[in-house]
Structure 1
Amino acid sequence: MLPLKLPYRIILGSQSPRRVELLKMMDIEFDIVVSEADENYPLNISPFIVPEYLAKKKNEEVWDKLEQEKSNCLVITCDTIVLLPDTLTILEKPQDENHAFEIIKQLSGRKHNVISGVCVATQKENLVFSDITEVQFRDLSHEEIRYYISRYKPFDKAGAYGVQEWIGVVGIESVNGSFYNVMGLPTEKLYQVLRNEFSLK
């Protein structure tokens, strides 16, 4: 596996520090054009499809914002959700500390799914895919949850936690699937798609 030879101006449609860091770790040079698409989705679609739906929606919004020559651009957008598989409940980004506490309390001592949808698009081609990771938290005390929220303020994170932060380091028992997917970008799958569909051979 070698760095990709991509004959495009790569654009990441996200200002998420985690996604920016992960794309840099893939040795990909890119610009950022932040998508401002809302995160609303039809209530009648499966929660497993929501990340792909939102990733495509974000991608289309970034294309609308591009002012330079578009023929040489490749836009990458992503959306990540946290899902309780037994109830099919999507745990959104928390609105405040109390909401964050309630979300993490629901994750304590049980398994949940982290699903990322990715849209990779040029003017000629549009590919959408997703990845799913199963995460198991141990039982977390109320004191641990409140400490994490007050210290790390996870209000920009789906499911109200960052796997790379304190609560992930001390509280996660197992991760089945891509660790980086839990951070917000399924890097291995993205690499394969870019290499197989968009890279110079």
Structure 2
Amino acid sequence: MLQERLKDYALILASGSPRRQQFFRELGLDFEIRLRPVEEKHPAQLKGPEIPYYLAQLKATAFNGELKPNEILITSDTVVWHNEKSLAKPVNTAAAFAMLKTLSGDWHEVITSVCFTTTSKQRIVTETTRVKFKKLTDEEIQFYVNTYEPFDKAGGYGIQDWIGLIAIKKIKGSYTNVVGLPTHLVYKTLTDMVG
């Protein structure tokens, strides 16, 4: 089992996301949470999967020079990609409403990159999931934004919330990726790294 293989390693999860932390617990992994402030800005020309790839790697650079030889640092980033635009975390109620209005009745992509960094190597994996929303009414959007305040979520929604129950018609790919972490890829990559 992976936990046994990792006994000589220390996993560092650089994420304040309660959802990502919960996934690590559910995978049965021991880990330490270590956070560093990073300004999550990317070059404007980046598109789709290039954005979370860049940001996951950028978050790892905040730990340059401080990792020990037995530590594996895990950083990640998720974006919602729709109509050639990245929908990050909404800054306020109006932004969240506008995001959900544009996603309503259409397909979008949820793209997550996870960066694994040690003192000697770095690996980045990316997962894309396609999600189709039903046509949402303004009342449904307003209720969701007011009640759930999804300001810490890319695209302005959480699939595990009320809106996931009433609005998602189809999903192609990993469900956990939409929540914020492609757990199957994390498990596989860690398994490959420790042999």
State the match for 2:70 in structure 1: 72
Deviation at 1:101, TM superposition (A): 0.4
Contact 1:51/1:79 (CA < 8 Å) preserved in 2? yes
Q: State the secondary structure of the residue aligned to 1:93.
A: coil
State the match for 1:103 in structure 2: 99
Segment drifting more, 39-48 vs 24-33: 39-48
Q: State yes or no: 1:19 paired with 2:17.
A: no
Number of residue-to-residue matches in the alignment: 193
Segment drifting more, 36-45 vs 141-150: 36-45
Measured against aligned partners, the alpha-carbon deviations of 1:70-126 in whole angstroms (never above 9, x if no partner) come to 111100010000001xx3111121111111100000111000000001100110110
Contact 1:33/1:62 (CA < 8 Å) preserved in 2? no
1-structure distance, mates of 2:104, 2:77: 23
RMSD value, Cα? 1.2
Q: State yes or no: 1:175 paired with 2:152.
A: no
Pair 1:18–1:176, CA change in 2 (3 A) = same
Contact 1:80/1:117 (CA < 8 Å) preserved in 2? yes
**What are the equivalent positions in structure 2 for 1:13-162 lying under 5 Å apart?**
13-63=14-64, 66=66, 70-84=68-82, 87-162=83-158
Measured against aligned partners, the alpha-carbon deviations of 1:5-26 in whole angstroms (never above 9, x if no partner) come to 2121100000101100111111
Which aligned segments of 4 or more residues in structure 1 are displaced greater than 6 angstroms? none
TM-score (norm. length: structure 1): 0.92
TM-score (norm. length: structure 2): 0.95
Contact 1:34/1:62 (CA < 8 Å) preserved in 2? no
Q: State the secondary structure of the residue aligned to 2:124.
A: strand
State the match for 1:196 in structure 2: 192
Match of 1:140, as an amino acid? L
Tell me, which stretches of 5 or more residues in structure 1 are unaligned?
Answer: none
Match of 1:136, as an amino acid? K
Tell me, which stretches of 5 or more residues in structure 2 are unaligned?
Answer: none
2-structure distance, mates of 1:63, 1:9: 17
